[in-house]
Amino acid sequence: MNKNYLQISKELKKKILQMAFEGGSSSAHIGGALSITDVMAVLIGNEQFTKKKDQLILSKGHSCLAYYAVLMQIGKISEELISAFEKDGSPLMGHPIKNLALNINFSTGSLGMGLSLGVGSCIANKKLNNNINTIVILGDGECNEGSVWEAAMSASHYNLDNLVAVVDNNGFQQTGSTNFILKNENLFEKFKSFNWDVAEIDGHNFDEIEKVLNVNSKKPKAIIAKTIKGKGVSFIENNNSWHHKILSKINLENALKELK
């Protein structure tokens, strides 16, 4: 295991919290950003977006703070933009807006669309003989959208072995738990039934994340990552009020203390 994963994850979380505080917006979606940070840390440690040049599509676009933090960590976005999140005229809005200069290749946030974008991207890369994988990060609540399963069916039909879907299975969505709103406990079986290779992992276990990302497959690959919403900050963990909540200065200070 790359021993830097934990440190990378902590740095990403610090950036997420600082952007949320500077933005002062209740639409920062801190909990959902923190739940995918450990997966993002492994993608960075494996140099998925540098030497390998793989594509990332954040289908759960409301968790864009994690995406922006990744782009800052790998030097694609200036850290000076931390203070610009959701400000007038800023390129870093509450959902990713396509900006090739900042390496934001897709506009996302309309839930259920990201996997379809990934399918199209993978078909194009195959036609162009580009050795590029596309990694799509979905929310578990987002998997209530029918378009996700249309894309899943298409991916196996076109043998898209260059497509990886990571489902952030944190058990919550905007207005409550996924079990309360619409149960989707069988995500593993669902992707399997669409002829994908599927693995279920602890989305905060760096060894498991690294191992499954390095598995080669002749099919599209789905990773069901069991996560904790708000992971890493005790007063945010599994507290769904942080799906929409303004981070105060004292909140920020307490959270940064925990990350030390």
pLDDT digits (tens, 9 = 90+) for 88-135: 889 999 999 999 999 999 999 899 999 999 999 999 999 999 999 999
pLDDT digits (tens, 9 = 90+) for 34-80: 999 999 999 998 887 777 778 999 999 999 999 999 999 999 999 88
Can you read off the two tokens belonging to residue 107?
């506009």
Give 83's Cβ-side CA count (13 Å radius).
1
For residue 150, what pLDDT band results from cuts at 50, 70 and 90? very high
By the 8 A CB rule, do 153 and 219 touch? no
Q: Does domain 5-259 have CATH number 3.40.50.970?
A: yes
One-letter identity of residue 151: A
State the Cα–Cα distance between residues 32 and 188, nearest whole angstrom.
Answer: 21
> Which residues 6+ apart lie within 8 Å of 63 measured at CB?
29, 32, 33, 35, 36, 137, 139, 168
Give the chain's mean pLDDT: 93
Domain ranges of the chain: 5-259
> Residue 100 CB: number of other CB atoms within 10 A?
7
The candidate with the shortest Cα–Cα distance to 64, out of 108, 4, 3, is 108
